[in-house]
């Protein structure tokens, strides 16, 4: 076995060896053609861990004739940047790969940016965070290409693993390994599109397998153990985690129970139960709302049960809550109403509280003109309860309406009551 990890050894040596990402740097893309024609533009590579950002940078370096320097923004300082600048003064243009670029501080930027701008340094930045949120605009403006990478398809990972098993120079080809095509595909499936995890699992599986007469015998049970141990996604606070939360909410809002269950399972595998339950509670009131007001209580109970149970049992009440939300009638009218009222305040659409609504629980309130409030419970109206026709909004904005009912589920009844009360007011005008 080699000293370096298999994932490190199997990095592509040039852009023709890159597996997957064909829409970003495949032979038909402008980026591929620019690089093969000798021009490497500054760029940002954005995507989840293990899908090829570092590999692409090294492959570009292998294809390019430019001097190559790799740094990590979490450990590099101003001195490291100055050394890169000095290198460019000696050798000419330098290709700098900067991993975790979103952690770049201002001092580093000030040292580097002018040299990227004048072309002395070609910058390839890699980030797992959304560059439009987490990368300084000054950096973004100097990178002509912002490429979002996708998770590798299973067939791409399978191809990479097959090459790793047979490659005698960089891979495991010098070892005698008994492994089937189906087992290689299972490892690829278990990696969830993460090439680094796939190669790490393959290497770990081989090392942990029994050796008989000089041959490593790969068992299905060992593959499943490794998938369970290291094949799970762990991006608890990164962009991908928040993308998963967003996808879950939008799937529930769109009543797609299968997609919602997929994203819920993905989130629970990440292990941040608190973030999941918080989002589910928001969804119950934001997206289901008055169409099924009882559901808020159901989801709260499910979340409390999940907190008490912990994983893996927590998945059971949460799955029930998600299923019920997916298949429930939906309304965002209350949420839109409060936002509309807030927007009106921000626009300056305010006024004085009517005198009859002001506090009268103190001596002297009558001298200020406070009073005249009519107590609705004293005037029953059908089976609704008490109601009287009086103004509640300030006179300056009394004609504004923030609530627009959605005729769905239980809100059909609320919408009918709302319209009926409006008609009562109109009759008395």
Confidence of residue 239 (pLDDT cuts 50, 70, 90): low
Q: In degrees, to the nearest 5, what angle opens at C-alpha 132 toward C-alphas 251 and 64?
A: 115
Among 86, 11, 23, which residue's Cα sits nearest to residue 56?
11
pLDDT at 425 > cutoff 80: no
Q: Provide the pairing of β-strand 215-217 with 176-178.
A: parallel
Rounded CA gap, 255 and 323, in Å?
9
pTM over 0.75: no
Selection from 80-89, 219-228, 262-271, 326-335 with the highest mean pLDDT: 326-335
Average pLDDT, the chain: 88
Instruction: Quote the CA–CA distance of 8 and 253 in Å, as a whole number.
Output: 42
Strand segments (E) across 268-421: 380-381, 385-386
What is the C-alpha separation between 43 and 123, in angstroms, rounded? 6
Please report which helix (H) or strand (E) contains residue 154, including its range.
helix 154-166
The pLDDT assigned to 119 comes to: 85
Report the C-alpha gap between 135 and 269 in whole angstroms.
28
pLDDT score, position 97: 93
Asked if residue 120 lies in contact with residue 88, where contact means CB atoms within 8 angstroms, the answer is yes
- For the chain, state the CA radius of gyration: 31
Helices (H), 37-105: 53-63, 78-91
CA gap 196, 181 in Å, rounded = 19
Whether residue 193 contacts residue 161, with contact meaning beta carbons closer than 8 Å, is answered with: no
294 near 325, Cβ under 8 Å? no
284: DSSP letter: I
Q: d(Cα 297, Cα 293) in Å, to the nearest integer?
A: 8
Name the nearest CA neighbour of 323 among 379, 384, 248.
Answer: 248
Is residue 253 scored above 90 in pLDDT? Answer: yes
The yes-or-no verdict on residue 284 having pLDDT over 90 is: yes
For range 178-203, the mean pLDDT: 90
Instruction: Tell me 287's DSSP state.
Output: I
pLDDT tens sequence across 45-77: 998 877 889 999 999 999 998 899 999 888 887
Q: Is 59 exposed, middle or buried (0-12, 13-18, 19+ CB in 10 A)?
A: buried
Residue 255, CA atoms < 13 Å, CB-side half-sphere: 6
CA distance 16 to 42: 20
Beta bridge partners of 121: 94
Contact partners, residue 380, CB within 8 Å, separation at least 6: 386
SS3 219: coil
What pLDDT, on a 0 to 100 scale, did the predictor assign at position 2?
63
Identify the pLDDT of residue 236.
52
Give all domains of the chain, ordered by start, each with its CATH number: 21-148 (3.40.50.300), 154-230 (1.10.8.60), 239-327 (1.20.272.10), 334-427 (1.10.3710.10)
Query: Which residue is listed with tokens 């809550």?
Result: 321
Question: Residue 374 belongs to what H/E stretch?
Answer: none
């Amino acid at each position: 076995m080699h000293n370096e990890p298999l994932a490190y050894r199997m990095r592509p040596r040039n852009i023709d060896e890159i597996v997957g990402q064909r829409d970003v740097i495949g032979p038909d893309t402008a980026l591929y053609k620019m690089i093969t024609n000798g021009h490497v533009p500054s760029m940002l590579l954005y995507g989840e861990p293990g899908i090829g950002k570092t590999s692409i940078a090294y492959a570009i370096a292998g294809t390019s004739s430019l001097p190559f320097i790799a740094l990590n923004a979490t450990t590099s300082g101003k001195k490291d940047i100055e050394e890169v600048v000095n290198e460019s003064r000696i050798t000419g243009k330098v290709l700098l790969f900067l991993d975790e670029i979103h952690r770049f501080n201002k001092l580093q930027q000030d040292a580097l940016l002018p040299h990227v701008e004048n072309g002395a340094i070609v910058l390839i930045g890699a980030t797992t965070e959304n560059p439009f949120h987490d990368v300084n605009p000054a950096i973004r403006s100097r990178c002509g290409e912002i490429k979002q990478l996708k998770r590798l398809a299973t067939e791409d990972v399978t191809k990479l693993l097959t090459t790793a098993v047979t490659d005698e120079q960089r891979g495991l080809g010098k070892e005698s390994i008994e492994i089937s095509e189906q087992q290689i595909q299972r490892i690829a499936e278990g990696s969830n599109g993460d090439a680094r995890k796939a190669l790490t699992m393959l290497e770990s599986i081989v090392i942990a397998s029994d050796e008989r007469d000089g041959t490593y015998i790969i068992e299905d049970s060992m593959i499943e153990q490794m998938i369970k141990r290291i094949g799970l996604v762990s991006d608890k606070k990164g962009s991908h985690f928040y993308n998963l939360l967003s996808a879950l909410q939008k799937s529930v809002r769109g009543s797609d129970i299968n997609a919602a269950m997929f994203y819920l399972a993905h989130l629970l595998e990440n292990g941040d139960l608190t973030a999941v339950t918080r989002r589910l509670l928001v969804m119950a009131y934001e997206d289901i709302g008055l169409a099924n007001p009882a559901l808020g209580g159901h989801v709260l109970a499910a979340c409390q049960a999940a907190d008490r149970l912990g994983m893996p049992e927590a998945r059971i009440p949460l799955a029930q809550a998600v299923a019920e939300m997916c298949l429930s009638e939906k309304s965002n009218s209350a949420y839109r109403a409060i936002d509309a009222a807030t927007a009106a305040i921000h626009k300056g659409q305010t006024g004085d509280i009517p005198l009859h609504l002001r506090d009268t629980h103190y001596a002297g309130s009558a001298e200020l003109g406070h009073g005249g409030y009519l107590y609705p419970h004293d005037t029953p109206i059908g089976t609704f309860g008490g109601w009287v026709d009086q103004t509640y909004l300030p006179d300056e904005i009394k004609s504004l309406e923030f609530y627009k009912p959605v005729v769905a589920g239980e809100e059909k009844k609320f919408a009918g009551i709302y319209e009926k009360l409006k008609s009562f007011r109109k009759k008395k005008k």
